Amino acid sequence: MDVHVTIEDNQARFLRCIGEATRLRILKLLAGGERCVGEIVEFLDKEQSSVSHHLRALKDCNIVVVRQEAQKIYYALADPGLAELVLKIEDIMKEVPLCHNLAGDCE
Amino acid sequence: MDVHVTIEDNQARFLRCIGEATRLRILKLLAGGERCVGEIVEFLDKEQSSVSHHLRALKDCNIVVVRQEAQKIYYALADPGLAELVLKIEDIMKEVPLCHNLAGDCE
DNA sequence: CATTCATATAAATGGATGTTCATGTAACCA
DNA sequence: TGGTTACATGAACATCCATTTATATGAATG
């Protein structure tokens, strides 16, 4: 099979993991400190199951770390650099407009 | 239908556009200056058609800009901040290992 | 004007990914 | 022990996305 994983494959996987609206919102939330699943679900107003799947995806990419306390499970950013990265992205996107060609409005 | 596009939708779309191994390699190449399609195809060693699709994706996200000169068409990064972003990503990924759980090796 | 070169596009196909529904599990409590 | 809370998991389904094959466009060249 010779599945040769390149540096770009890994970086791309990482970016795709971050590149999902719900997961991006989770990252922004966690930038403010760790949260348990219940809090994240409430914040997102989405199905608990869906959130759980997203959290797993983030965990599989080592973007978040997990801590258990009694029945509750807390998620936190694995690295403070991730919060900076999100800021950097927002920064760049001010100069690289993307509304173009998108369905719907962008105010 | 009220398709409400959030900031995170746009940012996610941008990240997914960058989050593809081939397109990431294109970005890294263009970080060294503009290139025509033929050069990009040769560099990537991929089908011309496939490369063309990727270039279109990058263009649709305003990540690259296009310039025509005779029969040749040159692509370049739309913003120098994009090259910085790639560096930032590589930087963070040094601290957030991703080889974990991936199929194949990662040397 | 026919041909070639450089690039784009359209349709078909297969694989990845997000959501939901249903169920599983582990901790806590009465 | 039985029930509840908190979260994870698996299967099914739908949608998105990358690749390929084939064809089209448009500029140059003879």
Q: What is the pLDDT of residue A98?
A: 58
Least confident of A33-42, A81-90, B12-21: A81-90
Is A47 part of a structural domain of the chain?
Answer: yes
Is A11 part of a structural domain of the chain?
Answer: yes
Q: What is the CA A50 to C1' C23 distance in angstroms? A: 15
Q: What is the pLDDT of residue A48?
A: 98
Is B99 part of a structural domain of the chain?
Answer: no
CA B89, CA A13: separation in Å to the nearest integer?
A: 12
CATH code assigned at A49: 1.10.10.10
Is B63 part of a structural domain of the chain?
Answer: yes
Over pLDDT 70: what percentage of chain B?
86
Residue B62 predicted with pLDDT over 60 = yes
Least confident of A36-50, B49-63, B84-98: B84-98
Residue A46 predicted with pLDDT over 90 = yes
Over pLDDT 90: what percentage of chain B?
78
CA B67, CA B62: separation in Å to the nearest integer?
A: 13
Is B84 part of a structural domain of the chain?
Answer: yes
Q: What is the pLDDT of residue A97?
A: 67
Say which residue, A12 or B3, is predicted with more confidence.
Answer: A12
Over pLDDT 90: what percentage of chain A?
78
* Concatenated DSSP letters of B64-98: EEEEEETTEEEEEES-THHHHHHHHHHHHHHHS--
Give the H/E segment covering residue B105.
Answer: none
Q: What is the CA B29 to C1' D29 distance in angstroms? A: 31
Residue B103 predicted with pLDDT over 70 = no
**pLDDT category, A4, cuts 50, 70, 90?**
confident
Q: What is the pLDDT of residue A100?
A: 40
CA B27, CA B13: separation in Å to the nearest integer?
A: 16
In the predicted model, what is the mean pLDDT of chain B?
Answer: 89
Residue A86 predicted with pLDDT over 50 = yes
Number of structural domains (chain A) is 1
Q: What is the pLDDT of residue B2?
A: 55
* Average pLDDT over every residue of A1-28: 92
CB-to-strand D under 7 Å, chain A 28-67: 36-38, 41, 48-49, 52-53, 55-56, 66
Q: Which of residues 71-90 of A touch B (CB under 8 A)?
A: 78-79, 81-82, 84-85, 88-90
**pLDDT category, A1, cuts 50, 70, 90?**
very low
Q: Are B30 and B75 in contact (CB under 8 A)?
A: yes
Is B2 part of a structural domain of the chain?
Answer: no
3-state secondary structure A10-59: HHHHHHHHHCCHHHHHHHHHHCCCCEEHHHHHHHHCCCHHHHHHHHHHHH
Residue A87 predicted with pLDDT over 70 = yes
Q: Which domain holds residue A24?
A: 7-95
Q: Are A33 and A77 in contact (CB under 8 A)?
A: no
Which residues make beta-bridge pairs with A76? A65
Q: What is the pLDDT of residue A14?
A: 96
